[in-house]
Amino acid sequence: MTATEFNIVKVLMKHKGKVVTHRMLMNEIWGSNSVEHTHYLRVYVGAVRKKLKIDETTPEIISTEAGVGYRLLDLD
């Protein structure tokens, strides 16, 4: 996992079960000058999902909240 991917997971874990907005993630990962470039975020979240998926039976643990952001699901 790259440092950027790890930082995304870290931010999502800090807010586990809650929606983390695109703006909030962009600000925490790349700083306030990058909050409008969400296409980078989609690419990185996609890579994180692939790396966390063990096989096809493994549930997705990062859900997309369309137009808002992402949520790390609480699978306990």
51, 8 contact by CB (below 8 A): no
Q: What is the pLDDT of residues 24-76, one digit of tens each?
A: 999 999 888 876 778 889 999 999 999 988 788 877 899 999 999 999 998 66
pTM of the model: 0.86
With a CB cutoff of 8 Å and minimum separation 6, the contacts of 71 are 12, 17, 18, 19, 20, 62, 63, 65
Average pLDDT over residues 8-37: 90
Cα(10)–Cα(57) distance, rounded to whole angstroms? 24
Residue 15 has pLDDT above 90, yes or no: yes
pLDDT value of residue 35 = 66
Q: How confident is the model at residue 18 (pLDDT cuts 50, 70, 90)?
A: very high
Give the chain's domains with CATH numbers: 3-72 (1.10.10.10)
Nearest 5°: the CA angle 64, 58, 22 is 15
